[in-house]
């Protein structure tokens, strides 16, 4: 199972997610920048925790408008697995 871990400017648990999925579980991972517009060859998308755009009110609402989120929504609409952790769940 290949996981794509979305990286926003304020996330910090992206590397923790990569360690858990890649190093411990032995699954292939890809770190995906919040400015990306496409997701390719993924079985799982992870939206990690912390503050996507800093410790500001409604940072998750701001993250919703990141270019990558259209691709995440399309991935989910096709039945793709999406895991949101902490602020990532709010996005």
* Domain residue ranges in the chain: 1-35
For residue 85, what are its two tokens?
């952790």
- 20-49 pLDDT, tens digit per residue, is 999 999 999 999 999 999 999 999 999 987
Give this prediction's pTM: 0.83
Cβ burial, residue 44 (10 Å; 0-12/13-18/19+)? middle
């Amino acid at each position: 199972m290949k996981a794509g871990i979305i990286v926003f400017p304020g996330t910090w648990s992206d590397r923790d997610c990569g360690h858990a999925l890649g190093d411990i579980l032995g699954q292939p991972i890809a770190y995906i920048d919040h400015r990306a517009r496409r997701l390719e060859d993924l079985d799982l998308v992870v939206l990690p925790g912390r503050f996507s755009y800093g410790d500001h009110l409604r940072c998750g609402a701001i993250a919703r408008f990141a270019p990558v989120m259209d691709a995440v929504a399309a991935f989910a609409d096709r039945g793709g697995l999406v895991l949101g952790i902490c602020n990532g769940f709010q996005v």
